[in-house]
Chain A
Amino acid sequence: MNDTAAVPFRANAITALRDSALRAAMSNAAETFSAKRSDAISGVPIEEWREQASELRLSVLDNLADYVDRFETNATRAGATVHRAKDSKEANDIITETLKDHGVQKVVKSKSMVSEEIHLNHHLQERGVTVVETDFGEYIVQIAGETPSHILAPAIHKDRRQVGKLFAEKLGCEYTDNPTVLATIAKTVLRQEFLSAQAGISGANFAVADSGSIVLFTNEGNGRMCTTVPPLHIAVLSIEKMVPSLADLPKFIRLLPRSATGQALSSYMSVITGTRKSGETTGAQEMHIVLLDNGRSKIITGKYREMLKCIRCGACLNACPVYRMVGGHAYQSTYPGPMGIVLTALLDGMERAHPLLDATTLCGACGDVCPVKVPLPDLLRKLREERVEKGFTPKLEQIGMAAFARAAESPVLFHLGQAAASFLWPIATKIGAKEGLERLSRPAAKTFRERVS
């Protein structure tokens, strides 16, 4: 996905819309998550919390370089080795080298969007390292050879029968469509992987500058396995995940799981600070932390900087009427939905991302649900303006818009255009332009001006 070819969003959306099973699954997911979120925020001072969290995120972004330095100092003091990676290639190389140095052939991995962003699995597998995804949904997607469709429920596009068939085929077990039995099968397979893996790779939901800790939320417990069972732990995270101190965490603990799954807190939340100290029996013997920039230091200086407040809860995906219809795969990007459109434009560039700017109705729902008040509708509007400025709109639209601009300034031309539209309509619909015109409403017999004058 490093290429700059434009995402064929329209074609992807058409395919997705024709898949009725996918549409049912996506809208079920979006509605369920949205309803759970609504329940979870009723009766709590959510507006106050959002405001506080937004302010804190902004103040971190204002001094991000300092927080990153402070984090590095403290994590190093706690026994971790901190690496800085300016882009995907550097991050992948650091991780590969570290694994090679330790002769690691197989790693267990817990869900990390940053690792998806840098295409880590692909990179490692090309270099002969086996990567085992251990989040149940990620595992399903991995053995199916697919990519996640939702940042919280990666395999939401598959129903229980499809998962049952997949397990029977790939794992050689007896077919079942019982989700509990399927989870038990995966647990048994993955337990052996955890116990035999030489290294674990995780992401991080937050990084704490004053203590050098990384913070992970999981419901299944796979994140805890990956970070405590193997002797080597590599955490890969992007630099904007910083929070000042441990005392600041509750502000985000109260918002992240509520906005994501509607829980007051995920089943497991771990604060990991460096390596196992003398007298301790928990913690990796060696820990490497890869801090990924990948364009963020530049984004922070520009007009889209507030996007970096995002804490990856997924609430805007579930709220988005476009995402609900087409699902995550149509965006063909690491991050889908409203936040995904903005991030893809910023990380991959307009050339690749510009068709995604059609995947928004600008209804504002994404901005309303964002726990850290990322002004998503504003950012999407600004990106649309930039798309026009950079000339990424379709030729026909450019001509049409230019013609309309001329006509709107001249009553004579405007009137002429209206007359031409009603005169040409029957002809245009007959000569093959039908496909494009059928979605437009036919010109009125009498124009508005004729009716009121």
Chain B
Amino acid sequence: MTREEIINLFVVNVAKVSAEPIRMSGAGELNGAVAGLLTETDRVFCPSITEIEKGLEFSPDKLIQDYVSVSVCVEEAYAAIAETGSLVFESRGGKPVQAGLLCAHHVAILPSGGIHESLDDFFSSLGDTPPTNVTLETGPSRTADIELTLTIGVHGPGRLTVIVV
């Protein structure tokens, strides 16, 4: 597959699992795109660890350090897998992986070069000494425990937005 085909497959599969894919051509549009996703009352956590995260600008009243009490978590994903439409988050570099679980709306930013074509590509790259936590996130939190009725957003976020840069 070419890079473009891999990106397209990823975007198609992200939409299939009820997440919202957004594609943009350059990092310059990022701040506008992220701001457009936030509502008036949203409080945001951003780990500000990677270069992309450090480049994001939020109004100071929106940004909160304590990720337990925010509605939105905006962060860069470590990688992604086109085959399943999954995002990969890792504890590498001091990332609090659970922050993306405790919020109601998870916004993930993904440089398109980080998309692996298949599960095999990604898991072969992990080796035998992975970081403490590697999590694949494939769509929003869901359950069907009452009469198999699909309910979105049980313990984790009910909304997942994926911005492919």
**Residue contact A283 to B132, C-beta cutoff 8 Å:** yes
CB distance from A121 to the nearest CB of B (A): 18
**Residue contact A246 to B141, C-beta cutoff 8 Å:** no
**Residue contact A246 to B142, C-beta cutoff 8 Å:** no
Contacts of A279 in B (CB 8 A): 93-94
A221 vs B157: C-alpha distance when bound (angstroms): 9
Q: Out of A183, A247, A268, A275, name the residue touching B137 (CB < 8 Å).
A: A268
A263 vs B97: C-alpha distance when bound (angstroms): 23
Query: With contacts A220-B143, A220-B155, A281-B95 known, is A225 near B101, CB below 8 A?
Result: yes
Contacts of B140 in A (CB 8 A): 267
Segment touching A, from B1-9, B29-37, B54-62, B118-126 = B118-126
Q: Is A32's CB within 8 Å of the partner chain B?
A: yes
Contacts of B144 in A (CB 8 A): 153, 261
Q: Out of B13, B68, B127, B133, name the residue touching A283 (CB < 8 Å).
A: B133
**Residue contact B123 to A246, C-beta cutoff 8 Å:** yes
> Residue among A266, A268, A274, A277 with the most chain B CB within 10 A?
A268
Contacts of A264 in B (CB 8 A): 13, 17, 83-85, 138
**Residue contact A179 to B149, C-beta cutoff 8 Å:** yes
CB distance from B146 to the nearest CB of A (A): 4
A270 vs B126: C-alpha distance when bound (angstroms): 13
A213 vs B127: C-alpha distance when bound (angstroms): 12
A48 vs B143: C-alpha distance when bound (angstroms): 30
Q: Is A441's CB within 8 Å of the partner chain B?
A: no
Query: With contacts A155-B145, A265-B138, A271-B133 known, is A281 near B68, CB below 8 A?
Result: no
Segment touching B, from A91-99, A134-142, A306-314, A378-386 = A134-142
Nearest A residue (CB) for B122: A250
Contacts of A261 in B (CB 8 A): 144
Contacts of B142 in A (CB 8 A): 219-220, 267
A170-214 toward B: CB 8 Å interface, digit per residue (1/0)? 000000000110110011001100110000000000000011010
**Residue contact A266 to B138, C-beta cutoff 8 Å:** yes
**Residue contact B123 to A211, C-beta cutoff 8 Å:** no
A269 vs B84: C-alpha distance when bound (angstroms): 12
Query: With contacts A211-B130, A224-B98 known, is A156 near B138, CB below 8 A?
Result: no
**Residue contact B156 to A32, C-beta cutoff 8 Å:** no
**Residue contact A280 to B131, C-beta cutoff 8 Å:** yes
Residues 103-134 of B contacting A (Cβ, < 8 Å): 118-120, 123-124, 126-134
Q: Is A104's CB within 8 Å of the partner chain B?
A: no
**Residue contact A180 to B119, C-beta cutoff 8 Å:** no
B74-101 toward A: CB 8 Å interface, digit per residue (1/0)? 0000000001111000011111111001
Q: Is A68's CB within 8 Å of the partner chain B?
A: no
Q: Is A28's CB within 8 Å of the partner chain B?
A: yes
Nearest A residue (CB) for B18: A267
Q: Out of A78, A135, A267, name the residue touching B156 (CB < 8 Å).
A: A267
**Residue contact A282 to B91, C-beta cutoff 8 Å:** yes
**Residue contact A154 to B68, C-beta cutoff 8 Å:** no
Q: Out of B123, B124, B139, B149, name the residue touching A267 (CB < 8 Å).
A: B139
**Residue contact B147 to A159, C-beta cutoff 8 Å:** yes
Q: Is A237's CB within 8 Å of the partner chain B?
A: no
A223 vs B37: C-alpha distance when bound (angstroms): 28
**Residue contact A254 to B138, C-beta cutoff 8 Å:** no
Name the interface size band of chain A. 35 or more
Query: With contacts A221-B141, A249-B123 known, is A160 near B149, CB below 8 A?
Result: yes
Nearest B residue (CB) for A33: B148
Q: Is B136's CB within 8 Å of the partner chain A?
A: yes
**Residue contact A268 to B148, C-beta cutoff 8 Å:** no
Contacts of A271 in B (CB 8 A): 126, 130, 133-135
A249 vs B120: C-alpha distance when bound (angstroms): 8
**Residue contact B135 to A270, C-beta cutoff 8 Å:** yes
CB distance from A138 to the nearest CB of B (A): 8
CB distance from A25 to the nearest CB of B (A): 7
Contacts of B132 in A (CB 8 A): 78, 272-277, 280, 282-283
Contacts of B141 in A (CB 8 A): 219-221, 267-268
**Residue contact B96 to A281, C-beta cutoff 8 Å:** yes
Nearest B residue (CB) for A134: B155
**Residue contact A221 to B123, C-beta cutoff 8 Å:** no
Q: Is A64's CB within 8 Å of the partner chain B?
A: no
**Residue contact A153 to B96, C-beta cutoff 8 Å:** no
CB distance from A265 to the nearest CB of B (A): 4
Query: With contacts A136-B154, A283-B133 known, is A250 near B120, CB below 8 A?
Result: yes
**Residue contact A249 to B94, C-beta cutoff 8 Å:** no
Contacts of B118 in A (CB 8 A): 250
**Residue contact B147 to A28, C-beta cutoff 8 Å:** yes
A276-291 toward B: CB 8 Å interface, digit per residue (1/0)? 1101111100000000
Q: Is A118's CB within 8 Å of the partner chain B?
A: no
CB distance from A440 to the nearest CB of B (A): 38
> Residue among B131, B139, B147 with the most chain A CB within 10 A?
B147
**Residue contact B154 to A221, C-beta cutoff 8 Å:** yes
A134 vs B13: C-alpha distance when bound (angstroms): 29
Q: Is B151's CB within 8 Å of the partner chain A?
A: yes
Q: Is A222's CB within 8 Å of the partner chain B?
A: yes
A21 vs B124: C-alpha distance when bound (angstroms): 48
**Residue contact A221 to B133, C-beta cutoff 8 Å:** no
Residues 216-271 of A contacting B (Cβ, < 8 Å): 219-222, 224-225, 228-229, 245-247, 249-250, 253-254, 261, 263-271
Contacts of A268 in B (CB 8 A): 101, 135-138, 141, 156
**Residue contact B156 to A221, C-beta cutoff 8 Å:** yes
Query: With contacts A153-B148, A156-B148 known, is A250 near B154, CB below 8 A?
Result: no
User: Can you list 7 residue pairs at the A/B interface with Cβ under 8 Å?
Assistant: A156-B145, A183-B145, A187-B154, A270-B135, A271-B130, A273-B132, A280-B94
